[in-house]
Amino acid sequence: MKRSLSLSRRTLLASAGASALALSGCDKLNKLINGSPKVSFKGVDVTGTGYGQQFVLPDLAGRPRRISDFSGKVLVVFFGYTQCPDVCPTTLAELAQVKKALGADGERIQGIFVSVDPERDQPAMLKAYVTGFDPSFIALRGNAEQTAAAAKDFKVFFAKVPGQAEGSYTIDHTAGSYLFDAKGQLRVFTRYGAGPDALTADLKQLLSEG
């Protein structure tokens, strides 16, 4: 029962986050597209919000990484943690499934997992975790201050929830993925639970834009 309640909280966070993202992006959309026909996404269109542009976090080798480092690839950025019981593994497995189904086009998709639990998510553990879903996936891990700054830049919520055993905890966090186009612009927020078909459609659209 407790696990179900935790999942419900994360699902509610995803919906709340998506609504906020949608409202903040709508007013800027027409100005950004410069008269081009409006693109229809299955997820929440957040074109023009500018979230994630100040994003800087170390990779597992300690190198600072930015969205601009992945120019030419469509990015799927997800905030989570390795001991997440449901949302995180489901999201990564779904992305790996979609990436594989896209064949050669899937090679142009980069999955990026941002840890919200750097205290427990040590580099070796993170690498094994993300590459277990797909060898191309990468993980980013900062210290507590860097993690908080990155989450703020993406408008991501996360908070520790004490467990039953002393010192144990889970983390409630925004349950959704951020899709960037090949030019490094945030375009879509995909809600957790939207399904692989919706994710595939939005990734195909972004890939088609070059």
Instruction: Please state the pTM of the whole predicted model.
Output: 0.83
81 beta partners: none
Maximum Cα–Cα distance across the chain: 57
User: Which tens digit of pLDDT belongs to each residue from 104-136?
Assistant: 999 999 999 999 999 999 999 999 999 999 999
pLDDT above 90 (res 16): no
Q: Does residue 31 have a pLDDT over 70?
A: no
Q: What is the pLDDT of residues 134-190, one digit of tens each?
A: 999 999 999 999 999 999 999 999 999 998 888 899 999 999 999 999 999 999 999
How far apart CA 196 and CA 42 sit, in angstroms, is 11
Query: Token pair for residue 112?
Result: 């990026």
Is the four-CA dihedral 120, 191, 209, 103 of positive or negative sign? positive
In this model, does residue 13 exceed pLDDT 60? no
CA 167 to chain centre: 27
